[in-house]
Amino acid sequence: MSELNYNYKLKLKVLTPLHIGAGKEKDWIKGIDYIIHNGYLYILNQKKLFEYLNNKQLLEKYINLISKNHYSEIEKFFRENLKEDIKSISQSTYENINNINTEIKYFIRDGMGKAYIPGSSIKGAIRSVLFSYILKNHNKEITSITKYDRRTNSEVPIEKREYIEYALGNYDKSIMRFIKPNDIYGLDDYLSIYNVNLYNVKHPQNNSKSETKNIVTIECLYPFENIPSFDFQLNIAEPFINVINNKYNRQYNLPKYKNDVFKNREKETIHHLFKIINEYTYQHIEKEIKFFEKYTHTSNIEENIIKKLKEIQDKTKDHKKSCVLRMSYGSGFHGITGDWLFDDHSIDTIKLEKNKTDEDYKSVAYLNKRKTAKSRRIIDDTYPLGFIELILLDDRPDNLSPFSAEKVSDSKVKSNIPKVEISKTNEINKTNQNIIEHTQPRQSFKTITRLNEIAKGKYVVAEISQLGKPSHKVKIVLENKIFETIISNVKNANLKIGDKVIAEIKDNKGSEKINMVAFVSHFK
């Protein structure tokens, strides 16, 4: 343990195929980024390829073929001109698989080209679990929170998408600021390429219209027997919370529900976190098993997908030094949202609805009049994606009270969210004092947290709420007052909805309104 952190040495074990993407613009394209030759798939080193073609005076011909998207001609070009030299201009080689897609989603890499599991991806999965846990424990309180609505000049319930901010704390006061998994390296020799099938329910009564089809090819960590567990460190800054609490005695500067997660002792905190994760994952898998038991339009589903899910579910029970977590690509709608909206993953009806962006129609599934997921991503007709196991090293003491399926609480968050009472919550309406200097973001921009600090040139933390051209829309929270405004200077910032940024106030009307802000940097 350091002075301000609990430092836990862990291992990450891949239980089902794991893919963490880097965005569609990074996908490998056939004939440009990879080729198939003599039963092997070669990922091309672009620099070496262009140097080779230029030396052979073939570069212009190659560029002409690329511009016309003649994939068959490109393959023929490589067969005729590269022959045995393909391996020397490739950065990696894979055994070929059947029916490979034109584009391959590649595993995220750093600036040096090394594949890695970002700590932020693990953190995001933990965030969903903790949100579900805290919302279950404090459902009535959180769902009763209100905000001021300028249009009606009255207090109205916060939107359901805002529950997570109040459960975990927003920005500087988020519980997640005190949980930091490190990035994981050493993956490059264990990556494989596989096709992903879409297990798609087209009719809730499970008729023959439902289907399974190949949709995408990914580079992933596949759970072969010889794949190792990967070492990494998880830091939890609970000692730092205690320093803040003891020195300043300001509870409202800290996450409100911190005691639900942190147990004030190094051993108890990690065991409690693992127990929360295991209970959540057990219940999530239970819902998934029932989904596949109901929609059985593929052969041998009991011996394949359901059997694998039960094997993974068993790993959540009575384990004293590990937890099972689902993360990243393929974890699906229910995994990403914290799986709190529904008591089960079944479907009431499927409707054809027009897309907002074009004239096409798409099928949308509903359960209890809410949109839900109707498809799952599967590899080899057996593996759901994204399950990992986090394992404490042997020198750590056992958890004497691990999660047991026999102790699963019936107090689930029901899909019919309690009726919201239009009344202010005293805790929320307390004036938040400025977070102490140690908890400011690491950037050199000091952000404000008080309404009376609003002024042109001041910096605030903002969340991207809507994308647009030439500006986006953001949400800013100060002393529990929510401002919605536009943010400029976003060109080339590569932002997406939900991203948090540092922004400079460009125009305001006292403390009543922030008219515009400008993007300064990403918030870490």
More confident residue, 396 or 489: 489
What is the 8-class DSSP label of residue 86?
T
Share of the chain above pLDDT 90, in %: 36
Tell me what the pLDDT averaged over the chain comes to.
83
Q: Report the DSSP pairing between strands 154-157 and 146-149.
A: antiparallel
Q: How confident is the model at residue 437 (pLDDT cuts 50, 70, 90)?
A: very low
Task: Name the pTM for this structure.
Answer: 0.74
Q: What are the residue ranges spanned by the domains of the chain?
A: 6-19+117-189+200-211+225-407, 28-105, 443-522
Cα–Cα distance measured from residue 517 to residue 464, given in angstroms and rounded to the nearest whole number: 12
Taking CA 413 as the corner, what is the angle to CA 410 and CA 416, rounded to the nearest 5 degrees?
120
The CATH number for 443-522, chosen from 2.40.170.20, 2.30.42.10, 2.40.50.140, 3.40.250.10, is: 2.40.50.140
Query: In whole angstroms, what is the distance from residue 495 CA to residue 489 CA?
Result: 11
**Per-residue pLDDT tens over the stretch 322-353:** 999 999 998 888 877 667 888 888 888 888 88
CB 474 within 8 Å of CB 485? yes
Q: Which carries the bigger pLDDT value, residue 335 or residue 484?
A: 484
Q: Residue 81 and residue 65: Cα distance in Å, rounded?
A: 14
Highest-scoring range by mean pLDDT, 77-86, 397-406, 497-506? 497-506
What are the tens digits of pLDDT across the range 397-406? 777 778 777 6
Query: Do 449 and 434 touch, CB atoms closer than 8 A?
Result: yes
Dihedral (C-alpha) 81, 82, 83, 87: value to the nearest 10 degrees?
Answer: -170
pLDDT tens sequence across 188-217:
999 999 999 888 887 776 554 556 677 789
